[in-house]
Structure 1
């Protein structure tokens, strides 16, 4: 979901990547070419394994590996073992493009990665050119959907669905004015823009401020000054936890007493640590399911904890489900051929994910985003409102 440079530069990286691969005579291997019918089935996972989002990337990788191990223990897929190929994108579009090219060269036939939308965007044309289906477990910018690529499927709620949930809660909670602050990345800007549009259409909550900051800085006194001047009932921060934690810390130091809500990119224990313990108490969040909020997930959490030595975090369950869905689609297709697997994904009807029975919309998204409201209590994000 994270992008550390302006979107225009990110999309330029997409074009540059496509040109580079064309100049080299195309991408080798991948789902569009005839693949061997023996040996491991390679599953690509382009996720952040370094940088500020590495903790979330670790949760995702563990969830994926857990699914791979379970499937392999039961005989694998089409009589073959799955092999996870995790490549680091560090939430950087240029590194993500290189990681995707490496995964394709390594022989991946399906992709289950995607956390930072800005870094996921440049991987789309790479996997499309190789005819590799993409099951994206976390990245959810509307920009991903707007590409309208046949090989791209999202199993996390979209930015538009998150915005709708945010507005629903604001109205329900009696908020009268809100400051919308994003970090100018694809994911963050998307949510802020959609939320502003939805708020203006609803008419119950005034947008007191809509502004952007630059990700990666340490001093956010300028935006803190603007928020204090606007005096909103609520701040809705749509960026990531590194900057979100700093803004919360600096807002509290400036005497802000209004409500604070963050988007799903900030739902991580790191936000609480960076904000400074008590400063984060009561912070709200729009978020899809986390392991702790899923009814009946206790045994899965126990298995994960036993296997990896620590409790699962955000996007571990979605990543686990992405691998399971990939295995299901390959099984239904009876092949690792990209075109056949894409058709199998489109035909999925009722496959059980943690989020419920799956059937993709024509846009290859979930029919319901599944967003709920969390709140920080005693140093942890817990469920506040399921928005049912």
Structure 2
């Protein structure tokens, strides 16, 4: 088994339901369990734990129980590779992850080489499946070319004649989403007054805000994550800018509002149709809420990834790679997201993206 373990890359793992009597089929979820995007890691972890618990309570998979391993990649590409190798060495059959596209893309090469099925609940960069290293790589979320098309057209339709700035954090996710949004905004006849990059993890964006203020920016599209988007918004308001902030699915966490407070009122973002509203998901949503967990963002996407894999294993009658990949590639799976099918690239053939608005500390569909 080839190792690409990198010196200095921190690893963090824990095993759920790890008693010897339950050590039957080992699966994993991988994401940012620590670091500035840990709220999304918590979403993946919550979805995976509940899916494993529910599947085991219903008799497991092929008469065996699932054991869940948690891998912390901190949304760092090098750490993601190290985590992938560590999970492979433990003998996992399947990984529901990762979250950040910048982690999923390099990690997928390890999983493909090791013959491990990977289904990302949240990585939206088109390269993840367009350039996938093997047919065992899938995702249950949409793509940034779909998301960018919705966002770009929305900017052109709803903010015609407004001065728009498009920002990106230079990450695989943020830059990719910003580029797709700009492409479709330009195709619809719009032209941004500013195209600027910023560095994720910084605390002071006042120079960027001053540049936007000087340019008279009225709408700010942010290709990046909620932590920086929230800080940029707050610092805009501190400088007297009342520009509308528009962003993508990385704002689907209550932590965004915790950062912005009332300043976040009216923030717009693209995300897939809310799976919490699916009738099929109602019993699971209720179960989460009984435990004090709001299944926001990518919680149910992680749950669905594990559902699809487990059903594919049952259809194949084995956990062996090739029969399960064949079942995933050809099957129709009933999940908390609704009926789910994968296309020839490993993408889902499901509804794409809609616009949401933050109001009173919650996000819901935008009503024009």
The answer to whether TM tops 0.5 is yes
User: In 1, distance between residues paired with 2:266 and 2:139?
Assistant: 30
Shift of 1:181: 0.5
**Which of 83, 86, 95 is residue 99 of structure 1 equivalent to?**
83
> Which of the numbers 346, 361, 365 marks the counterpart of 1:379?
361
Task: Output one character per residue of 1:198-236: Cα deviation in whole Å (capped at 9) or x when no partner.
Answer: 122221x22121111001101111211222233233111
> Are 1:278 and 2:262 matched, yes or no?
yes
CA distance in 2, matches of 1:225, 1:294: 43
Equivalent-residue separation in structure 1 for 2:250 and 2:198 (angstroms) = 15
Are positions 1:212 and 2:190 aligned together? no
1:258 paired with 2:247, answer: no
Alpha-carbon distance in 2 for matches of 1:287, 1:141: 14
Aligned to 1:366: 348
Equivalents in 1 of 2:164, 2:338: separation in Å?
32
- Given that 1:289 and 1:355 are in contact with CA atoms closer than 8 Å, whether structure 2 keeps it comes out as no
Task: Return the alpha-carbon distance in structure 1 between the equivalents of residues 280 and 64 of structure 2.
Answer: 31
Aligned residue in 1 for 2:284? 300
SS of equivalent residue, structure 1 residue 71: helix
**1:39/1:273 Cα in 2 relative to 1: closer, same or farther (>3 Å)?**
closer
Q: Which residue of 2 aligns with 1:172?
A: 157
| Match status 1:156 vs 2:171 | no
SS at match of 1:112: strand
Unaligned runs of 5+ in 1: 1-16, 22-37
Q: CA RMSD in A?
A: 2.1
**Is the aligned partner of 1:147 residue 2:111?**
no
Give the aligned partner of residue 14 of structure 2: none
Q: Following TM superposition, by how much is the alpha carbon of 1:124 offset from its aligned partner in structure 2, in angstroms?
A: 0.9
The structure-2 alpha-carbon separation of the partners of 1:113 and 1:251, relative to structure 1 and needing over 3 Å to count, comes to: same
Cα shift readout 1:283-314 (whole Å, capped 9, x = no counterpart):
111112445554564432221122x3332221
Given the alignment of the two structures, is residue 80 of structure 1 paired with residue 64 of structure 2, yes or no?
yes
Higher RCO (C-alpha 8 Å, min separation 6) = 1
Q: Tell me, yes or no, if structure 1 residue 132 matches structure 2 residue 132.
A: no
* Worse-matched range after superposition: 171-180 or 313-322: 171-180
Cα distance in 2 between the residues matched to 1:144 and 1:230 = 36
Aligned to 1:35: none
Q: Show the counterpart of 2:207.
A: 222
CA distance in 2, matches of 1:77, 1:20: 31
- Tell me how many residue pairs correspond in the alignment: 350
In 1, Cα distance between equivalents of 2:51 and 2:228: 32
Match of 1:66 in 2: 50
2:304 corresponds to 1:321: yes
Residues 18 and 125 of structure 1 are in contact (CA less than 8 Å); yes or no, is this contact kept in structure 2? no
Q: Is the 8 A contact 1:290 1:315 kept in 2?
A: no
- The match for 2:8 is none
Contact 1:161 1:369 in 2 (8 A): no
* Pair 333,357 (structure 1): closer, same or farther in 2 beyond 3 Å: same
Query: How far has the Cα of 1:359 moved from its partner?
Result: 1.9
Is 1:201 aligned to 2:187, yes or no? yes
3-state secondary structure, aligned to 2:192 = strand
- Look up the match of 2:234: 249
Q: Is the 8 A contact 1:291 1:312 kept in 2?
A: no
Q: Structure 2 stretches of 5 or more lacking a match?
A: 6-21
Aligned counterparts of 2:276 and 2:48: Cα–Cα separation in 1: 18
In the alignment, what sits opposite 1:11? none
Q: Which residue in 1 is equivalent to 2:12?
A: none
Secondary structure of the residue that 2:366 maps to in structure 1?
strand
2:98–2:122: 8 Å Cα contact kept in structure 1? yes
CA distance in 2, matches of 1:181, 1:130: 37
* Cα distance per residue 1:2-31 (max 9 Å; x no partner): xxxxxxxxxxxxxxx97737xxxxxxxxxx
When residues 142 and 18 of structure 1 are mapped into structure 2, their CA distance, relative to the original with a 3 A threshold, is farther
Q: TM-score, normalised by structure 2?
A: 0.89
Q: Does 1:52 align with 2:36?
A: yes
Q: Measured at CA, do residues 355 and 172 of structure 1 come closer, stay the same or move farther in structure 2, by a change above 3 Å?
A: farther
2:328 to 318, 328, 345: 345
